[in-house]
Amino acid sequence: MQNLSKPRLHIPVPAARPGDTPDFSRLEIPEAGSVRRPDTASDPAEMRDLAYDLIRVLDFDHRAVGPWDPRLDPETLRRALRLMVLDRAFEERMHQAQRQGKTSFFMRGLGEEAIGIAHAMALSDEDMCFTSYRQQGLLIARGCPLIDMMNQVYNNAADKLHGLQVPLHYSFPEFGYFAMSGNLATQVPQAVGWAMAAAYSGDDRIAATFLGDGATAEGDFYTGLLFASVYRAPVIISVSNNQWAISCFAGIAGGERTTFAARGVGVGLPSLRVDGNDFLAVYAAVQWAAERARSNHGATLIEFVTYRAHGHSTSDDPTRYRPADEFAAWPLGDPLQRLKGHLVALDEWSEERHQAYEQEAKDEVRALQREAEAIGTLHTGTKPSARAMFDHVFEESDWRHRRQRQEMGI
């Protein structure tokens, strides 16, 4: 059968499709605590192995083990857990609001909450974040008022973006949160540019940027990695490998042949691969990369292995392309439950306190939601003025904008 050895076009296929039993056997999971933690000043060439390993702190018995344990005090851990609960409650409500027709579109980070929140906690509030759409928790953790986020989602009269942007495409300069782009990966080289500017200015703030496994296929991702490497920019490039890009499994993005962390190895950057559902591991990795960046050792690429527990967006039905029970079978579990389990094991938290706080969070979100809806939703209540669309094209709008505004009668 000489033909067998002939080149054939290879199309990557996921382990399981609807109807199949979930299968994550391709994912190798080392013991928690088994991965070494090099000094933050070490040479990238000496730590390529970390791109092919998986940094884990929380073991399956809820213990924090190994060199990457950030040794956070219980109060800090409780704060992280509360933020995850609050984030989840917020996204849950906004998702329902979309279902009720109160806005056009929404996206959730269900199952990935540890990533955004751990970044917010491990970075300084002055560090600049260029995110994708699954780090709303980062904004919440930095203290952005939920009502401001809701008003944007509803595009109501209090929306700080005046109704111009699609829901959750937030922009909050006061919280170091860059105006999110709808165009995947464009933020990566921009974040690197921001970090170059900080270094140019002798400022010790750093930048962090986020993208998904699928988005790593864009040329902009490579461009960002390359510029970060060439100019030794103080930036952290975080890839949330949540296994899916809408309907395409990570293999379509090049995850079949090697890890996403390996992309960093390709340009000589230190590259870590981390259990993204392990709050402590995420925190420790970000802390390590931030220390490197702040002490002039440049950029780090981090791949966070996680799972997109929900549909891609409110426009998506994941049961069409993956087993409905895949999340249940996900070996790295639920980041919220894992952190909760750890706190409970430490005797620093309890089922009762958890339920009480969940209720509290739900109530807070519901109250704020009522407040926001009292102002308006996409199709009801008070709206911003359409004038905004002309006012922000340029610092000074030109005659075309004045003429067109008049034509619109505003």
Ligand X SMILES: Cc1ncc(C[n+]2csc(CCOP(=O)(O)OP(=O)(O)O)c2C)c(N)n1
Contact residues: ligand X, CB under 6 A: 134, 182-184, 211-215, 240, 242, 244-246, 308, 312
CA of 132: how far to CAs of 179, 183, 241, 396, in Å? 10, 9, 13, 30
Indicate which of its own copies, Mg ion, another protein, none lies near residue 296 (CB less than 5 to 8 Å, by partner kind). its own copies
Buried b (16+ CB within 10 A) or exposed e, 229-253: bebbbbbbbbbbbbbbbeeebbbbb
Among 22, 38, 266, 331, interactor with its own copies by CB under 8 A: 266
Concatenate the DSSP letters of all residues of 17-67 into one string.
-TTSPP--TTS--PPTT-S----TTS-GGG-GGGGGS-B--B-TTS-B-ST
Q: How far is the CB of 84 from Mg ion (least distance, A)?
A: 19
Binding mask 290-329 for its own copies (x = CB under 8 A): ---xxxx-x-------------------------------
Spatial contact of 112 and 174, defined as CB atoms under 8 Å apart: no
Of residues 313 through 352, those in contact with another protein by CB under 8 A are 315, 320-321
Q: How far apart are CA 66 and CA 333, in angstroms?
A: 20
Spatial contact of 152 and 103, defined as CB atoms under 8 Å apart: no
Annotated catalytic residue within 308, 310, 338, 342: 308
Q: How far is the CB of 372 from ligand X (least distance, A)?
A: 25
Q: Is 246 in the site for another protein (CB under 8 A)?
A: yes
How do 207-212 and 271-275 pair as beta strands? unpaired
Closest of 146, 151, 176 to residue 161, by C-alpha? 151
Residue closest to ligand X (Cβ):
212
Binding span for its own copies by CB under 8 A among 96-104, 146-154, 194-202, 355-363: 194-202
Nearer to its own copies, 1 or 352 (CB): 1
Indicate which of ligand X, another protein, its own copies, none lies near residue 308 (CB less than 5 to 8 Å, by partner kind). ligand X
Of residues 18 through 77, those in contact with its own copies by CB under 8 A are 44-45, 48
Among 222, 386, 388, 389, interactor with its own copies by CB under 8 A: 222
Rg (CA), the chain: 22
Of residues 169 through 198, those in contact with Mg ion by CB under 5 A are none
Q: Is 214 in the site for another protein (CB under 8 A)?
A: yes
**Amino acid, single-letter form, for residue 328:** A
Of residues 254 through 273, those in contact with another protein by CB under 8 A are 254
Per-residue tokens: 312 = 């891609």
Spatial contact of 294 and 204, defined as CB atoms under 8 Å apart: yes
Among 109, 116, 137, 193, interactor with another protein by CB under 8 A: 193
Concatenate the DSSP letters of all residues of 154-167 into one string.
HT-TT-TTTT-SPT
3-state secondary structure of 266: helix
Of residues 93 through 132, those in contact with another protein by CB under 8 A are 104-105, 128, 130
Among 66, 212, 276, 311, interactor with Mg ion by CB under 5 A: 212
Q: How far apart are CA 207 and CA 322, in angstroms?
A: 35
Among 27, 173, 200, 356, interactor with its own copies by CB under 8 A: 200
Nearer to its own copies, 155 or 187 (CB): 187
Among 146, 207, 245, 285, interactor with Mg ion by CB under 5 A: 245
| Direct distance between the N- and C-terminal alpha carbons of the chain, in angstroms, rounded to an integer | 74
Q: How far apart are CA 257 and CA 236, in angstroms?
A: 24
Q: Is 244 in the site for another protein (CB under 8 A)?
A: no
Nearer to another protein, 73 or 202 (CB): 202
Binding span for another protein by CB under 8 A among 192-200, 273-281, 291-299, 334-342: 192-200
Binding mask 213-242 for Mg ion (x = CB under 5 A): xx---------------------------x
Q: Is 334 in the site for its own copies (CB under 8 A)?
A: no
Does residue 312 have an active-site annotation? yes
Chain centroid to CA 28: how far? Answer: 23
Q: Is 113 in the site for Mg ion (CB under 5 A)?
A: no
Q: 33: which residues sit within 8 A by CB, 6+ positions away?
A: 56, 57, 59, 65, 66, 67, 68, 69
Binding site for Mg ion (CB under 5 A): 212-214, 242, 245
Residues noted as catalytic: 308, 312, 321
